[in-house]
């Protein structure tokens, strides 16, 4: 890696990079098909990674017959090799004003996460595409490929600023209109949508994507530190809620939050999406190397 240290510090640390280099992105949908060899690939034979044997059927390419086995067993077997194909990796960032809260801000945390995942993809020569919800339908984001694009990718992420006002549903819909391929899709958002996140999720179901929803909340949202009589102002739509902080109210808030997150988890799980709840207090390296690994996004 040839990258200025200051740039790395912002989103990715050298230690994290060293850790990430050993990982690769995994798509359950794509690999399932390839292992069984039911789908033919344009670049078969170029691979060197052995996968399995199967019996010879008429019409098979004789170049892949294992002659050593035929000599021993007097039966024709066909050697199968893993097909190496580049993976499409999409990251959709929520860059609304509400993501600007927290310390570090949720947006920064989301960028770090996106950078880490994208880095893994770039190292493994996958095709990485990073977009935000506010991006217009007709203007696709840049595509990164190869280790050399890491610098460009980080630069691009760095340029993303909070302040977009597009709703979650519109943002996801626009994304789906722009991109219609297979691959891994990661949505990083706080899902704080007054009209509900369900509509947005439904757009994703119809896509042939391996969807990961990372629900990012700030510590202040999980454990609100409020006291006295307050007038809460929504930073996005200036909506006002008058509260008097009291034990039952705080208790009620916790219940509401729990219902909200578990509702989202259930909604995603039922539709074959992966849901992960994260806070801005959880370090990115831990999130990637531990949580996402368990979910099967990386290995």
Query: Which residues make up the interface to another protein (CB under 8 A)?
Result: 98-99, 101-102, 106, 190, 192-194, 218, 220-221, 226-236, 239-249, 252-253, 255-257, 260
Q: Which is nearer to another protein, 213 or 217 (CB)?
A: 217
State in angstroms the smallest separation of the CB of 271 from another protein: 22
Greatest CA separation for the chain: 86
> Residue 276 contacts by C-beta under 8 Å, 6 or more apart in sequence?
212, 213, 214, 215, 291, 292, 295
Pairing verdict, β 143-145 and 209-217: unpaired
Q: Which is nearer to another protein, 10 or 105 (CB)?
A: 105
Shortest approach of another protein to residue 243 CB, angstroms? 6
Minimal distance, residue 22 CB to another protein, in Å: 35
CB-based burial label for 208 (10 Å; 0-12, 13-18, 19+)? exposed
Distance between CA atoms of 251 and 164, rounded to whole angstroms? 32
Judged by CB, which is closer to another protein: 210, or 221?
221
Q: Between residues 220 and 285, which has the closer beta carbon with respect to another protein?
A: 220
The nearest distance, CB 242 to another protein, in angstroms, is 6
As measured in angstroms, the least distance from the Cβ of 235 to another protein is 5
Instruction: Name which of 40 and 231 has its Cβ closer to another protein.
Output: 231
Q: Per residue in 125-145, is it b (16+ CB within 10 Å) or e — as a string? A: ebbbbbbbbbbeeeeebeebe
């Amino acid at each position: 890696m040839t990258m200025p240290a200051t740039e790395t510090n912002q989103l990715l640390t050298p230690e994290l990079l060293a850790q990430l280099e050993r990982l690769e992105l995994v798509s359950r949908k794509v690999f399932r098909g390839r292992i069984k060899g039911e789908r033919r690939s344009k670049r078969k034979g170029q691979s060197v990674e052995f996968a399995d044997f199967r019996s010879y059927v008429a019409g098979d390419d004789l170049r892949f017959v294992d002659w050593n086995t035929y000599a021993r067993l007097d039966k024709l077997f066909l050697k199968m090799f893993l097909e190496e194909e580049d993976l499409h990796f999409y990251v959709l960032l929520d860059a609304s004003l509400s993501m600007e809260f927290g310390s570090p801000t949720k947006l920064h945390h989301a960028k770090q996460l996106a950078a880490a995942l994208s880095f893994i993809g770039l190292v493994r020569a996958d095709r990485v595409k990073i977009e935000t919800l506010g991006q217009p339908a007709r203007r696709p984001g840049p595509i990164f490929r190869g280790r050399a694009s890491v610098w460009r990718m980080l630069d691009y992420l760095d340029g993303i600023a909070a302040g977009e006002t597009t709703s979650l549903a519109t943002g996801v819909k626009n994304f789906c209109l722009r991109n219609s391929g297979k691959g891994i899709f990661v949505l990083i958002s706080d899902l704080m949508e007054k009209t509900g996140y369900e509509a947005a999720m439904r757009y994703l179901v119809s896509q042939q994507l391996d969807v990961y929803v990372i629900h990012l909340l700030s510590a202040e949202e999980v454990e609100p530190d409020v006291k006295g009589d307050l007038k809460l102002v929504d930073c996005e739509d200036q909506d006002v809620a008058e509260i008097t902080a009291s034990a039952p109210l705080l208790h009620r808030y916790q219940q509401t939050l729990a219902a909200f997150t578990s509702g989202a988890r259930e909604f995603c799980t039922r539709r074959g999406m992966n849901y992960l709840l994260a806070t801005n207090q959880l370090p990115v390296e831990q999130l990637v190397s531990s949580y996402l690994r368990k979910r099967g996004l990386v290995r």
